[in-house]
Each structure stands twice: as structure tokens, then as C-alpha cells.
Amino acid sequence: MIRQSLSCLAGAVLVAAAAHAGPAEPGTEHHAFHEAVSLSIDGLEALPPDPSNRWADDPAAADLGHRLFFDQRLSVNGSVSCASCHEPNREFQDGIPLAKGAGTTDRRTMPVAGTAYSPFLFWDGRKDSQWAQALGPLESAVEHGGSRAQYAHVIATHYRRDYERVFGAMPDLRGVPAAAGPVTDPAARSAWERMPPSQRDAVTAVFVNVGKAIAAYERHIQYGSSRFDRFAAEWKRTGTQPREILGAEERAGFALFQGKAGCTQCHNGPLFTNNEFHNTGVPRRAGLPEDRGRLPAVAGVKSDEFNCRSRWSDARPDECRELDFLAPASAAQERAYKVPSLRNVAERAPYMHAGQFASMAEVLEHYNRAPAAPAGRSELRPLRLSAAELRQLEAFLRTLSGGIAAPAKFLMAPAPEQLGQRAQSRQ
Ligand code: HEC
Ligand code: HEC
């Protein structure tokens, strides 16, 4: 749907591009052309399969995942769902610096769109799939706050029929405590430790499938096409930079973005991210525990209970190559954070991993000054752009808004009677 792909932008264009053949020198029109085409959403590759989740592309799993994403019963207090923080009408985030669930977290909510393309999830990349990611907040004391035994009971009571249609028979949960799991709550944790291993596995299997259903839903949440993409497509079609789609200020901003401001060093490709982790000297947020970013997360993802090589994954070991490519822990990972997509960025202030900056102007001011990092070493250098140039860059970033591309039903909360009641009433 978002990928009408290159096919409709016929071969004539490629001929036009080839006519400029030769190295694309930065600062030249030729270089700018290549950058525009490579950033265009039309160039986004087809969604790669997720071998770790056998149900990733199963429509019934996505429907179930949609309902689970909005179901507040999957929380310790009956009032938190994924959608509490990831609101579909706010770019699947919440617009506040530090996310609030059962408590307050130490980081800002990230948008969900396009994350099916991310090899590593979270600001520090401590999870290696969407389904493994989804299990984190469910057992975090400050987010959903519940436990996997509680969630297995919710599924058995409210979603049994739909769950079994996708995943097969529900395990027998007789004797499973109402709250039990490897969580911080001491009562739930000791209840978990007292359960026999076979019973723990039965509960964990249901919990894992909750994550896999939610991931099947999230795979449908993608970025829509923006004004910038029309600009790039038209440029590609005609071989000449179009002047009517973006204004002069916006075009000057694009020249800076991929030219002297060096933004495409990290924000590149159709999602405006290299999917890597970098230290950009973002200041600490007062009052939070020390946050070292990527550094501890590399070991974390390798030993994660739910990683691609775990027994809960559906992948063969050779399908988990991302885990092999992980750089060993090094000083460069100190306070390195995931490079966020810049699509729709103007619509989702505040910015950075702990909402340190309230506006895009503040973000650009940071890039312009490139202060020393609070720990580790910032990869930025001062840009020394003028106030007018900063305004141009901001104007360009605003051309990247194109909404969310997803089936309309997935952008709305499911009807209340769909939240498990359907399954219940048929029993
Ligand atoms: C209390 C608010 C809150 C709730 C509830 C919540 N999240 Fe998040 N989400 C966050 C925060 C904060 C982060 C970043 C955390 C970090 O990096 O440590 C995040 C990160 C993510 C990411 C990573 C995106 C990326 O680019 O790497 C995804 C995907 C996501 N959440 C999906 C979910 C799903 C699915 C659920 C429900 C099972 C959920 N979230 C529940 C706040 C929340
Ligand atoms: C060295 C890699 C790198 C370069 C170069 C870079 N960025 Fe970033 N950008 C990042 C990282 C990493 C983050 C997230 C940092 C954090 O949260 O601590 C980020 C965050 C952002 C954000 C906030 C997005 C959000 O959702 O919070 C914006 C806006 C942004 N960058 C724009 C730019 C612009 C404009 C330029 C060029 C002037 C640029 N970036 C250059 C790596 C880079």
C-alpha cells in the first residue's frame, strides 16, 4: 500500500539518472538527486519476513493483536494498554517527555510505525524483534505492571476462541496463580518461582503468543507518503528538480540536510534512519538514574530470554544473523541511542530518548552547537549554521509528514464488544 514501488516510476527516469553517470560529489545537483531518490519512500524494500514469528503475516493474528494492543485488562490496574502510550492519532506515541503507565518510565515513548524494518527495538536496542519487544512493557512495573500468569488468564477467559484459532489449544491453566512471573513485584515473583517448570513453560508460551499477535498487528503500521516523497518522485520522473512541490525555503533545507549539515550520515534511506546507534551528546535529563544507552543493551539482547535464538523463537539459528553482527561492547556505545526515523517528526514533539527537547528548534540548536556528551563521546561537530539556515532545515523536516499508512480499522480502537467479549459470548 505504501510501496507502489519503483515499477510505476518507469525506466525513462533511470535513463535520466544514468545520463548523469559518474561519482556523485557532495554539494552537486547530481548528489542531491541521488539523495532525494534514496530517501524517498518509494524505494522502501518490501517488508522483510520475520522468521522468528511464524504468525507475523497471519491476518487472524493481526486482528487478535489489534484487540490486545488496546485491551486495558492486560495491566496490573486495568487501566493501561499499549495504546495508552502509543496513541494511533498521535503518531503512536503520547506527546510527553517521559511515558506514564502504572508508574513513570525513564524514557520517551517511541512511535511504532515502520518498526517492522528495525533489527533492534527500544532506544537502546535491547530487543531483536517486535514480538520480543512487546513482552517488555507488559512485565515492566512502571508500564502495564502485570505478570505473564495474569495475562495468560486474561487470554483464557476473554480470547480463548480467537487465540485457539490462531495458535492452537490453550494450555490448562488450572492451579496457575492469578499473578506470577519474573517481575519486580515480590509476591508474583515468588509465586513464579514455586511453579513447576512445565507450568511456567505453558504460561510463557501463551505470553509469547500475545507478543507475536501484537507484532502481526504492528507490521501493518507504516509511514504514509509525504510531500517530500512527491518531490523526489517528480524529480526522478523528469530528471529536473521540481520547483512547485516544495517551496524555496524547504528546498534550501533539503540541500542543507543532505549537504553541509550532514544529517544523512545517520538519517538515511527511505525511513530516514540507518537503524544504528549513535552518541549525539544529548544531555541527561535531571532526576533520572544513569542511562548508558546502547552499552549495556548489547549484552542484554544476546542473553535475552526471547531473542531470535531463544527456544521461543520460530527461526532457525542461521536466520538470526543480526545477533552475529553485533559489535562487541565498546566505548562508542556509551550513551549511543537508536537513530529515530524522521518521518512525521514535526507531528510528535518532544524529542530524544528522554524528551529532552521540547521543539524542533531546540533539536536544531543542539545540532548547531554540538555540545560535549555527558558521557562517552559525541559524534557531532558544530555546524555553525545561521538562524536562516536553521529555519530552512526545520522547514524541510516539516515536509516529511505523510500520516500513517495502515488499514483504517487498525488506526481505531476496536469496538468495545470486540475486546474479548465476542469470544466470551460464544463460549
Ligand atoms: C507506559 C507507556 C508505554 C506502554 C504502556 C507501552 N509502551 Fe511501548 N514504549 C514506551 C517507551 C517509553 C518506549 C521506549 C523505552 C526504552 O527505550 O527503554 C517504548 C518503545 C516501544 C517500541 C520500540 C520502537 C522502536 O523504534 O524501537 C515499540 C515497538 C513499542 N514500544 C510497542 C509497545 C507495545 C506493543 C506495547 C504493549 C504491549 C507497549 N509498547 C506499551 C512506552 C510505552
Ligand atoms: C551521528 C548520527 C546523527 C547525525 C549526523 C544526525 N542525527 Fe539526528 N538523531 C540521531 C540520534 C542517535 C538521535 C536520537 C538521540 C537521542 O534520543 O538521544 C537523533 C534524533 C534526532 C531528532 C529527534 C527525533 C525524535 O523522534 O526524537 C531529530 C529531529 C533529528 N535527529 C534531526 C537531525 C538533523 C536535522 C540532523 C542534521 C543536522 C541530524 N539529526 C543529524 C543521530 C544523528
Mean pLDDT of 98-108: 97
- Position 1 scores a pLDDT of 34
Q: Please count the other Cβ atoms lying within 10 Å of the Cβ belonging to residue 422.
A: 16
So what's the pLDDT on residue 14?
41
Write the residue with the smallest CA distance to atom 36 of ligand 2. 263
pLDDT-derived band at 415 (thresholds 50, 70, 90) equals: confident
Does the pLDDT at position 338 exceed 60? Answer: yes
Residue 418 binned pLDDT confidence (cut-offs 50, 70, 90)? confident
Q: Percent of the chain having pLDDT more than 90?
A: 89
Rounding to the nearest 10 degrees, give the CA dihedral for residues 388, 398, 89, 39. Answer: -140
- Mean pLDDT confidence for 235-252: 97
Nearest residue (by CA) to ligand 2, atom 42, is 339
385 lines ligand 2 (CB under 6 A): no
More confident residue, 232 or 11: 232
Q: Is 337 in the pocket of ligand 2 (CB under 6 A)?
A: yes
Helix axes 197-218, 160-167, angle to 10 degrees: 90
Give the per-residue pLDDT at 8.
37
Q: How far is the CA of 206 from the centre of ligand 2 (A)?
A: 38
Convert the pLDDT of each residue in 26-85 to its tens digit: 788 999 999 999 999 999 999 999 999 999 999 999 999 999 999 999 999 999 999 999
Report CA(367)–ligand 2 centroid distance (Å).
Answer: 8
Ligand 2 contact, 83 CB (< 6 A): no
The span from the CA of 211 to the CA of 291, in Å, is 26
Do you know the residue count of the chain? 427
**Secondary structure tally for the chain: helices H, strands E:** 16, 4
For 302, the grid coordinates are: 544476546
- The reply to whether ligand 1 has any atom less than 6 angstroms from the CB of 86 is yes
- Protein residue closest via CA to atom 10 of ligand 2: 339
For residue 426, which of 418, 415, 169 has the smallest C-alpha distance?
Answer: 418
Rounded average pLDDT over 179-206: 98
Q: Give the burial class of 131: count Cβ atoms within 10 A of its Cβ; 0-12 exposed, 13-18 middle, 19 or more buried.
A: buried
Is the CB–ligand 1 distance for residue 80 below 6 Å?
yes
Residue 298 is inside which H or E element, if any? Answer: helix 294-302
Higher pLDDT, 254 or 5: 254
Confidence at residue 360, expressed as pLDDT on a 0 to 100 scale:
98
Q: What is the pLDDT of residue 217?
A: 98
DSSP states of 253-290: HHHHHHTTT-GGGTS-TTTT--S-EE---PPPPTTS--
Mean pLDDT, range 273-294, rounded to an integer? 97
* Mean pLDDT confidence for 211-218: 98
Name the band, by pLDDT with cuts 50, 70 and 90, for residue 21.
very low
- CB of 150 closer than 6 angstroms to any ligand 1 atom: no
Mean pLDDT over 253-265 rounds to 97
Please give the DSSP secondary-structure letter assigned to residue 118. Answer: -
Q: Which pLDDT band holds residue 416 (cuts at 50, 70, 90)?
A: confident
- Nearest ligand 2 atom to the CA of 265 is 5
**Domains along the chain?**
59-222 (1.10.760.10)
Q: Check pocket membership of 376 for ligand 2, CB cut-off 6 A.
A: no
Q: What is the pLDDT of residue 27?
A: 82
Indicate whether residue 134 lines ligand 1 (CB < 6 A).
Answer: yes
Question: What distance in angstroms lies between residue 266's CA and the mean position of ligand 2's atoms?
Answer: 8
Q: Look at residue 20 in the predicted model and tell me its pLDDT.
A: 45
Q: Distance from the CA of 139 to the center of ligand 1, in angstroms?
A: 12
Ligand 2 pocket residue status of 261, Cβ below 6 Å:
yes
In a mutational test of the pocket of ligand 1, which residue from 131, 142, 143 has the highest number of ligand atoms less than 8 Å from its CB? Answer: 143
Whether pLDDT at 312 is above 80 = yes
Helix (H, G, I), strand (E, B) or coil at 92: coil
Name which residue sits closest to atom 39 of ligand 2, judged by CA. Answer: 263
